[in-house]
Chain A
Amino acid sequence: MRNDVRDLREAAGLSQAALGDALGVSRQTVNSIETGKYDPSLPLAIAIARYFATTIEEIFHVD
């Protein structure tokens, strides 16, 4: 699944580790989500959307 997590993170000036700390996941997990290798669970997707003050549909796109 394609997503805009990397764009949002970089726009916020955050490192992968910083975003991971904020979401309670590892830097590697943030990287896997950004590269589309791992699709987050619904709770984590909601947490990501809330962190960037947007919706899941705005971040994650089913190709």
Chain B
Amino acid sequence: MSTKSASSTIAKLTGLIFGAAGLTILAIIAHLADHDDFAKGAVIGGAITMLAIVVLWVRGTRGGAAARIASGVADERERLLFRESSADAAAAMFAAAVGGAIWALFDAPAIGVAGIVLWVGLITFLVSFAVRARRG
């Protein structure tokens, strides 16, 4: 194993460990705040996300744009795709936050508003990335 691939593996394992630690802390906080459903959702969603990242790592450099981005070997076009999709997600989340703020005026639950903002961002990112990748 080369030094480069060893350091890459260490970086990936470190990312997974910190991701799992962050997820655990979030679940503990949610549990202590009597939001067990939120804790379950965070654990399930986080676990699925981490599994998806591992799958992309396994697919490696020949696995398409998403796999190369996840593996840290994306080229300039793929980095541009990622940046533009992230910008789309940020814009959509901003709009969702404005909508959520208006909804909050009618006593909407904070956790519901936050959840919608997060889901809007995630879905927008995935759709935007898929569409932009297909367009070239």
Contacts and interface: CB of A to CB of B under 8 A. Distances in A.
Interface of A: 24-26, 28-29, 31-32, 35, 37-38, 40-41, 44
Nearest to A28: B65
Chain B interface residue bracket vs A: under 10
B75 A26 contact: yes
B68 A44 contact: no
Contact of B136 (A24, A26, A32, A40): A32
Contacts of B68: 26
Interface of B: 64-65, 68, 75-78, 135-136
A26 B135 contact: no
Contacts, number: 28
15 contacts: A25-B75, A26-B68, A26-B77, A28-B64, A28-B65, A28-B77, A29-B75, A29-B76, A29-B77, A29-B78, A32-B136, A37-B135, A40-B77, A41-B76, A44-B76
Contacts of B76: 25, 29, 40-41, 44
A26 to B, nearest CB: 6
Contact of A24 (B64, B75, B135): B75
Contacts of B75: 24-26, 29
User: 5 smallest A-B Cβ distances: which pairs?
Assistant: A37-B136, A25-B75, A32-B136, A29-B77, A38-B77
Nearest to B133: A28
A35 B135 CA distance: 11
A35 B136 CA distance: 9
Contacts of A31: 136
Contacts of A29: 75-78
Name, among B65, B76, B77, B78, the residue most crowded by chain A CB atoms within 10 Å (CB to CB): B77
A17 B78 CA distance: 16
Contacts of B136: 31-32, 35, 37-38
A38 B135 CA distance: 9
